[in-house]
Structure 1
Amino acid sequence: MRVESIIADLRVPDLEAARDFYAGYLGLSEESLGLSWVTRHTDPRTGAGLQLLTRDATAPVPPVVSVKVDDVDEAYAEARRRGYEIVHDLSQEAWGIRRFFVRAPDGNVLNIAQHSG
């Protein structure tokens, strides 16, 4: 498995209310993901970005980061082999990613994902 990117997932109570700070103050461009509960804000010059979410649509807890990998099935098998807690089982999501959530030994929940297609 190879990690392709990591993006912070910040939980906010209201996406619209958060827009002024992240887009207005920080100057990040908002990128709609087509979902009502999550959006991405990115610096158009550097590509640095983060995701804001109010909840997760299918998982019991929101992640603190999303880790995109080149082989999510391999990542899932390795997490299980190591005995890590799987918080959200490996699934194909309606919005086009295959993912699972794993709890790191420090307690943080990570979204391990791969784009389908």
Structure 2
Amino acid sequence: MRVTRIIADLRVADVEAAKSFYTHYLGLSTEEFNMGWVARYTSPDTGANVQLVTRDAAAPEDPVISVLTEDVDGAYAEAQELGYEIVHPLTTEPWGVRRFFVRAPDGTVINVVRHRD
């Protein structure tokens, strides 16, 4: 798999309550999106970012990181061939991303995703 970007997914109780710390104090002032249960904040100066997640709206477990790739279908096939546990099947979500969740051998749940063009 060719990884193009990795984003930390931080579990928070309430996105709006946590927003001020990340946007004001850390300077991640650009809100790339906010779906209520997940929001991404980015520094306009450096591009550093984080996603705040309360609970994944469509999957049975929450990921720790989101790994972006251009070939999510290929990554899914490779994960299956290698025998890794698929936590959430390859799905095109209603909000437009195509993704699956895989459990790393250490137990970490990873969201492997391709954003729409």
Aligned residue pairs total: 117
The aligned runs of 1:1-117 (5 Å cut-off) are 1-117=1-117
Percent identity between matched residues is 62
CA RMSD of aligned residues (A): 1.1
Change (3 A) 1:37 1:67: same
Q: Quote the offset at 1:34 in angstroms.
A: 4.5
SS in 2 for 1:74: helix
Aligned pair in 2 of structure 1 residues 78, 113: CA closer, same or farther (>3 Å)?
A: same
TM-score (norm 1): 0.95
1:30 and 1:39 in contact (8 A); partners too? no
After TM superposition, the runs of 4+ consecutive aligned structure 1 residues lying more than 4 A away are: none
TM-score under structure 2 normalisation? 0.95
**SS at the partner of 1:47?**
coil
Distance 1:34 1:93 in 2: 16
Where 2:76 maps in the other structure, the secondary structure is: helix
Deviation at 1:28, TM superposition (A): 1.1
CA deviation profile, 1:45-102 (whole Å, cap 9, x unmatched): 1101010010101001110000000100100000000110000000000111100000
Q: Please list every run of 5 or more consecutive structure 2 residues that lacks an aligned counterpart in the other structure.
A: none
